[in-house]
Structure 1
Amino acid sequence: MRSGTSGREKGGQGGERLKKRLNAGLLTGLACLVLVVLLAACEEKEEAQGASPSGEAVAGVPDGAAAAQPLPVTVGFYPAMPLTDADFDKIIVQPVLRKYPHITVKRMGGNLTNIFAAGDIPDLIQTHNGLLQELYDKAIVGDINALVRKHGIDLNRFDRAILDSLRTDRGELLGLPYAVNFTALYYNKGLFDKFGVPYPLDGMTWYDAIEIAKKLSRREGGVAYRGLDPEGMSRIARQAALDYADRTTMRSNMMNPGWRTVFEIAKTIYTIPGNEVKDVNASNGIADFLQGAVAMMATVNLFDQLGDATAQGLDWDVAEYPGIPGAPHVNTDVDAHILVIPPTARNKDAAMLVAEAVTSDETQLIMTKETARLSPLRDPALQKAFASDMDFVKDKRIGSIFKSNRIPSPIRTNYYSDTKAFGLNNFKDYASGAKDLNTALRDADEQIDSYLGTQLGKK
């Protein structure tokens, strides 16, 4: 009996011990589970903190180490258009350094075609929309839509017409605009005062400006003064959104009535007595204006050069760009200065971050105020801030620049540069009197068709 009683007592004590062990195991398991969850959460947090904002790979991080920092990356930047070292630093280098200190922007030089042939591909190219089709067909530029989405670029901030000028028929976005050009009529107040001619008004046509130029084209004191320079026939053609060939048909566009009007206006300007130039396709008009020898200069943004000219004594002002009769208040087609990323670039993500920094509100305000570039962003405050930090611009008729509108830009053919040469050469013959208007246009038309036929036959 004792032994049986002892057995029950031992069994009861053993059951209690087993229950305690089970409870302890359960608590331990729960603790482990909580620890695993906490560790997983910590790892996720560390990964999020250590992710590179450039989208480039980062070095591995040992267990327990601090979050990884983005690896340094150098973005090769090729300026295909004039860009001073000072402006490159102000609107490219410094904004990137402030926002993405791990990114270094290195300026590249040389011939772009040769650079690509050598395999030293830029990550970012600065160019303008007029060359996009040509660069696209050479695979120098490509679609950046995926990069725009990846890095959260808000395209709604940009002027819709400007963005549209950078898209292909398939909706591919080929670049991001950082500035947009404009045209204006700059005039030398000193020459107007000297010859007693009233200053030009806003809203004039080209023929109104021509009548004024006739009064200012003269020789005085052994110095020849020219009344008006339009910076070439092709600048006026931009106002009519003309290309030398039709991209859809790949045929000449020189029989478009718009070309007849442009040829006539440009010849009338260059044949004003005393307003002639040696070569209508190689006019030195801008330099002559800045040096005081041209009374009116109809051209693009000159504000990057007017500071020095003002210091040298040029007393200037600005009026609205003259209009083609029947198309008032049009200054040019969309002439966007853009940043493009080659499809073969090595650092596409970092290149997009450079473009994002350059087009940020902060950088755009600095650019507009301090370098007198127009912003492609829709914010009206940026237009009001134009050149506001440039002392030599004070009291000028800046509002005249904004009285004209841009028109949509045609997507030019990939043979734009070559077909343009045929148009210019035949205009030169027309301006000199070697050909009449009909012959000049017909010859340009036939030459372009022949050239395009040869080029397309090679494909």
Structure 2
Amino acid sequence: MKVKPIAAGLALALLGLSAIGCSGSSGSSAEPSKSPNAAKPGEAQAGKQLSTEPVTIRVNNWNTAFQQAEFDKYFAEPLRKKYPFITLEYLDQQKATSNTLDNLITAGNTPDIVFTDYPNLAGLLDYDFPEDLNRYVADFAVDLKKIDPIVIEGAKMIGSKGELFALPIYSDRMMWFYNKDLFNKFGVPYPTDDMTWDDAIAAFKRLSRMENGVQYSSFRMINLPMTGSQWGVPLIDPKTGKASFQTDGWKKSLDLMQQIAAIPGNTKLTNEDFYQKETLASLMQSFNIMVNLLEGVEQKGYKINWDVASLPQSKEKPGIAGANKPLYFMVSKSSKHKEQAFAAISHLMSSEEVQTALSQNGKMPVLLGDGISKQFGTKLDILKGRNVAAVYKHQMSPLPFSNRFNRLALVELITAGNEALGGTVDANTSLRNAEEKANKAIDAKLK
């Protein structure tokens, strides 16, 4: 396989987009389950028969915040119940740098499956990694009509000739987390699910203040790409295939960030300011990542009085609040077990039992059905008494167009946002310069 290494600086810059430091326990080595739900010899979901020869499918996580314990609970163990002859092995890069995708490919150990979220999905095309799954969908008679059409369309969007390079497993969305004690302290009403950004900024101005030598801050955003993602603003122009940052969408997104950053105390913030120092009143973060983080810090003794609301809406796009971040699985072109790898991921996607368990544990299911989505979060003690209904309150933004140059554009746009917020360059110049740099990098790839 031809390898196109990604520069170290690129990987580091992307950490702020989707990763919060995670660690997990190693997987179980228990014998495969003999559950009555286990597949009979040769049984697949439907259609083509699957070999029952025992196989190990090696799985890698690419640029997402994920833990070994989660992988075992939601993927490996449920799959054993269906296919006792298929073992999912998690190549945990938190434990060894040799398990990063670049290093695995370079060493000739390309994993059978890689999973990542939508903002990173198209970047895997740069490795010439994914297998087109259309043939397997037909062979195994997988009914994609039962799956959320928005996330299926996202998987198709990165192909240029109708390919289906990935299957979705669950979704996540950006939300507004807040510290109730700080809102109480300064007499500011709690966020509601129907606020506009103008409403929110008015509240931010009341929450950010210096008191008894302590700087209290009102709101932390992540970066410019994540700000624009809540309205589905694309980094890549679908007509040209090149970076496009000098648009109304990116200009408005950067203007919003500048308004928030201009409020005293709203720069150079971290998650720790929210849950440890308790000097940050609220922040924007994906639901699943933040809930996992808060579960972890509560186990360490931090007991923050928090709740969650929908992100504010723009007056131009009412009813849309928060970006959709589906998690996708891809099968490697070079895998020796393509059929088993496909059977594994299609089962995780379309099994009512698997999807219900994901929903109960705060991961938005991709399998359609009110009976599944209504169980969202019911198994998590940390969500009891919280405004969990906010997750489904409003429509999510459409998934923006993406191609294999998305990650190159992403890094330049992050830099543009940081420069504009830092005051080193004005907004229009920062966006223009970033677009030029991204397209220069894209042109170099095309040569």
TM-score using structure 1 length: 0.80
Q: Report if aligned partners of 2:220, 2:267 keep a CA contact under 8 Å in 1.
A: no
**Cα displacement (A) at 1:128:** 1.7
Give distance in 2, aligned partners of 1:96 and 1:250. 38
Name the structure 2 match of 1:341. 331
Give distance in 2, aligned partners of 1:50 and 1:210. 60
**Cα displacement (A) at 1:52:** 6.5
Q: Report if aligned partners of 2:155, 2:165 keep a CA contact under 8 Å in 1.
A: yes
Deviations 1:50-89 (A, max 9, x none): 646597886xxxxxxxxxxx22111111122222222111
1:200 equivalent in alignment to 2:182: no
Mark the CA change 1:76 to 1:308 in structure 2 (over 3 Å): closer, same or farther: closer
Name the structure 2 match of 1:147. 136
Mark the CA change 1:344 to 1:132 in structure 2 (over 3 Å): closer, same or farther: same
**Cα displacement (A) at 1:387:** 0.9
Deviations 1:358-415 (A, max 9, x none): 221101111221x311111111122211110112211211112212212321231322
Name the structure 1 match of 2:385. 395
Name the structure 2 match of 1:355. 345
Mark the CA change 1:287 to 1:368 in structure 2 (over 3 Å): closer, same or farther: farther
Aligned CA RMSD, in angstroms, stands at 2.2
SS in 1 for 2:191: coil
SS in 2 for 1:165: helix
Mark the CA change 1:390 to 1:150 in structure 2 (over 3 Å): closer, same or farther: same
1:229 equivalent in alignment to 2:220: yes
SS in 2 for 1:252: coil
**Cα displacement (A) at 1:247:** 4.1
Mark the CA change 1:206 to 1:310 in structure 2 (over 3 Å): closer, same or farther: farther
Mark the CA change 1:251 to 1:350 in structure 2 (over 3 Å): closer, same or farther: closer
1:188-267 equivalent positions in 2, closer than 5 A: 188-267=179-258
Residue number among 417, 428, 444 corresponding to 1:454 in the alignment = 444
Mark the CA change 1:137 to 1:175 in structure 2 (over 3 Å): closer, same or farther: same
SS in 2 for 1:335: coil
Letter in 2 for 1:119: G
Name the structure 2 match of 1:100. 83
**Aligned pairs, number:** 391
Name the structure 1 match of 2:273. 288
Q: Report if aligned partners of 1:147, 1:349 keep a CA contact under 8 Å in 2.
A: yes
TM-score using structure 2 length: 0.82
1:269 equivalent in alignment to 2:251: no
Q: Report if aligned partners of 2:310, 2:322 keep a CA contact under 8 Å in 1.
A: no
Q: Report if aligned partners of 1:165, 1:408 keep a CA contact under 8 Å in 2.
A: no
Mark the CA change 1:365 to 1:436 in structure 2 (over 3 Å): closer, same or farther: same
SS in 2 for 1:435: coil
1:430 equivalent in alignment to 2:412: no
- Higher Cα radius of gyration: 1
Q: Report if aligned partners of 2:44, 2:50 keep a CA contact under 8 Å in 1.
A: no
Name the structure 2 match of 1:157. 146
Name the structure 1 match of 2:56. 74
Deviations 1:334-356 (A, max 9, x none): 42101110111111111122213
Give distance in 2, aligned partners of 1:52 and 1:157. 21
**Cα displacement (A) at 1:420:** 2.0
Give distance in 2, aligned partners of 1:454 and 1:84. 35
Give distance in 2, aligned partners of 1:253 and 1:237. 13
Mark the CA change 1:108 to 1:170 in structure 2 (over 3 Å): closer, same or farther: same
SS in 2 for 1:228: coil
Q: Report if aligned partners of 1:304, 1:372 keep a CA contact under 8 Å in 2.
A: no
Give distance in 2, aligned partners of 1:436 and 1:314. 38
SS in 1 for 2:332: coil
Letter in 2 for 1:78: N
**Cα displacement (A) at 1:310:** 4.8
Mark the CA change 1:297 to 1:77 in structure 2 (over 3 Å): closer, same or farther: same
Mark the CA change 1:128 to 1:223 in structure 2 (over 3 Å): closer, same or farther: same
Give distance in 1, aligned partners of 2:85 and 2:207. 56
Structure 1: give runs of 5+ residues left out of the alignment.
1-48, 59-69, 278-282
Deviations 1:314-337 (A, max 9, x none): 111111111233112223444210
Deviations 1:127-154 (A, max 9, x none): 1222333212431112111112222222
Letter in 1 for 2:279: A
Moved more, 231-240 or 286-295: 286-295
1:138 equivalent in alignment to 2:105: no
Name the structure 2 match of 1:307. 295
**Cα displacement (A) at 1:447:** 2.6
Letter in 2 for 1:384: K
Q: Report if aligned partners of 1:78, 1:107 keep a CA contact under 8 Å in 2.
A: yes
Name the structure 2 match of 1:86. 69
Give distance in 2, aligned partners of 1:250 and 1:149. 30
Name the structure 1 match of 2:13. none
Mark the CA change 1:82 to 1:308 in structure 2 (over 3 Å): closer, same or farther: closer
Q: Report if aligned partners of 1:430, 1:436 keep a CA contact under 8 Å in 2.
A: yes
Give distance in 1, aligned partners of 2:282 and 2:166. 34
Letter in 2 for 1:162: V
SS in 2 for 1:146: helix
Name the structure 2 match of 1:42. none
Structure 2: give runs of 5+ residues left out of the alignment.
1-39, 93-98
Give distance in 2, aligned partners of 1:450 and 1:200. 42
SS in 2 for 1:246: coil
Give distance in 2, aligned partners of 1:218 and 1:177. 43
SS in 1 for 2:163: coil
Give distance in 2, aligned partners of 1:171 and 1:119. 29
More helix by share: 1
Letter in 1 for 2:399: S
Name the structure 2 match of 1:5. none
